[in-house]
Each structure stands twice: as structure tokens, then as C-alpha cells.
Amino acid sequence: MTLQDLYELAIEMGTNSDPRGKETVKKHLIKTNENYKKLKDNDKKYFDKENLTNPYSDSRILNGDPKKNIKKVLAGIDAEASEVLLVDRLNQKGQKIDALISHHPSGHALAGLHEVIDIQVDMFAKAGVPENVAHALFDIRKAIVQRKIKPANHSRAIDAAKLLDIPLLALHTVWDNLGNKFLNEYIGNKKYDSVGELLDHINEIPEFVEAIKGKAAPSVVVGSRNRRTGRIIVGFTGGTNPSKELYIQLAKAGVGTLVEMHLPEDVIDDLNKLHINVIDAGHMAADSIGANLYLDELEKKGIEVVPCSGLIRIKRNKS
């Protein structure tokens, strides 16, 4: 497989797992193409043309020749300059790693993180929040995230990869979509008598079993084990956490329990007052689920995978 093949496979898998549904994603891409055609020539020069075929601005080939043949990858949750140096050092020791794959983005993929937050508008609408309210509040959230990221030195890993000639691929929302779909299907239509019963079921997932061993177990951070769950919502994708105001809207919509990768500290008191239960699944383990589903597909195609940087590698290949 080439680096471009890895990238295209990721986009395909991410689209197939998108909580909005494939048709909604298709409409989004059609609208993006229509808007691009309306741009002035000067604006077209600076438009990220990957947006015309890839709905996830935080998932990109950040460095490397797309035609490069890939046989072995180093894959992790984060890829900073240190991971780039790790690839170089491992190759000095004869590992022959062809590319570095990161979950969390850097460079222009990180700068575009706010653009994928729109996914959550549809997720919140499905949860019962009025679509216009969700849209308005997420517009505010997107602007905050964009301002927060903008001044960061977010190209360090890419600069290192260029200097050392190491292909670098970031797959953020793609892997999050896969993990989000997996957990929704895992929880399914099963009836849970309590939040504790739901937590115990989640803790049977292999990635979380390993997290428990490392003292990073999923836990109830709002509410308690003996409370009833009510309606359960999984929030594993959409760029980053919602704002406090958006969590409050979920409570108003009748959501009883949230399963999140992580939860901002400033919303805990408010959610307690609203009697919403929250299970914090743990960031690294939760991110690893989507990563593993993608990496399993790479292995089926003959790509060797070396895990690093917080990735809890669990193989679900049946072969």
C-alpha cells in the first residue's frame, strides 16, 4: 500500500462510521464543492482542496510522498517531535519503519480541528436538543477552539518529519468515528439497571481492561454507581468536548447518562445539579479503540504495525 492508500482507507472507514450517516456526509461534501466553485480566484488559491473529498479537516497526510510504498508503520495517540525522532532512531537500529501515524493532529490538521465540531450538531439533534440551539452554541464553541489553537506552535512535529524525511499521517476524527460507532454498538439496546452495571460492562472491553491495570480505569465522575442510567449517549467524536451550555442542553433533552472520553472540570458541578451521570472512559484507552479497528485493517493488507505513544494495541483480527 502507498501512503495515499492508507489515507484513503482511513477516510472511507471514517465516513462509514460517521454518526451523521453516509448520506449526510455526502451532502456536506457536495455543499463544500459548490461553495468552492463560488469563491474568487484569489480565495481558491488558499483553499484546502482536501476538503473537497475528505470531510475531516483534522485528518491529513502531513508529510511525505503520497506514492511512497508503506510496509511498516509506527502508530500512536500522539506524534510530537519526540516520536519523529523515535522513528529515526528505530530505523538506525534496523526497524525499517516507513511512516508514522498519529491520532491527535498537528500543523494544519490541528489548526482545522474546529471545523469537525459540526459533527456534534447532528449528534446533539439526534439526542433531542433543538437543532437551531445546538448549531448556535456549537458556533460559539468552534470560535473558542479556533482562538485557543491559533497561537500554538503546532507545526513542530511536521518540521521534524520534514527534516528527517519521515512520512507523517494524522487520523483524528476518523479514528474517533470508529470508536464512537464501536461503543454505541457495544452498548446497543441492552438494558442497564444502574450506572455501575453500565460501567462494569464497559470495563470488559480489552482496551479498558489494560487501562485498569495501568490505574487509568473508566470511572463515574458525575453521579454514582447506584443511580439509574436513563437514556445513554456516547460522545467519542466531534473534535473536542462541548461547552458547559451544551451539556446543560443535553440534560434538558432528557439524557440521563453520558459516556465521554474525558470531561472538563468546570462542568462537573453543573451536571451534578442537573442529575446527569457521566462515565469518564479515559482518554488513551478510548482513543485506542478506533485506532485498533483501523490498524487491524492495515494488518489484513500486510502492513506491520508497531504501537507507541499511549496506544493500547488490541488486535481483533480473526485470521
With vertex at residue 103, the alpha carbon angle to CA 97 and CA 107, rounded to the nearest 5 degrees, is 90
Q: What is the DSSP letter of 116?
A: G
Between CA 130 and CA 209 the distance in angstroms is: 37
CB 195 within 8 A of CB 203: no
Residues lower than pLDDT 70 in the chain:
318-319
Q: CA 79, 244, 215, 194: dihedral to nearest 10 degrees?
A: -130
Other CB atoms within a 10 A radius of the CB of residue 95 amount to 15
Euclidean distance between CA atoms 257 and 279, whole angstroms: 8
Pairing of strands 59-63, 168-171: antiparallel
Number of Cβ within 10 Å of residue 230's Cβ equals: 15
Identify the CATH assignment for 180-282 out of 3.40.50, 1.25.40, 3.40.1390, 3.30.70: 3.40.1390
DSSP assignments along 231-282, one per residue? EEEEE--SSSPPPHHHHHHHHHTTEEEEEES---GGGHHHHHHTT-EEEE--
**Mean pLDDT score across all residues of the chain:** 94
The pLDDT tens digits of the residues spanning 39-66 come to 999 999 999 999 999 999 999 999 999 9
For 224, counting Cβ atoms within 10 Å of its Cβ (0-12 exposed, 13-18 middle, 19+ buried), the class is exposed
| Threshold 0.85, pTM exceeds | yes
pLDDT at 318: 64
Q: In b/e form, how buried is each residue of 187-197, taking b as 16+ CB within 10 angstroms? A: beeeebebbbb
The residue to which cell 523515535 is assigned: 86
Q: What is the pLDDT of residue 269?
A: 87
Element (H, E) at 19: none
Residue 180 in contact with residue 19, Cβ under 8 Å? yes
Residue 6 is which amino acid? Answer: L
225: number of Cβ within 10 Å = 15
Question: Residues 6 or more apart from 59 whose CB is under 8 A from it?
Answer: 10, 11, 14, 105, 109, 170, 171, 172, 173, 174
pLDDT on residue 317: 77
Q: What is the reported pLDDT for 240?
A: 85
Per the structure block, which three cell numbers stand in for 246?
451544551
Q: What is the dihedral of CA 283, 285, 289, 290, to 10 degrees?
A: 30
* Helices and strands (H and E) in the chain: how many: 14, 9
Domain boundaries, the chain: 3-172+286-308, 180-282
CA distance from start to end of the chain: 20
Q: Give the pLDDT confidence score for residue 298 in this predicted structure.
A: 98
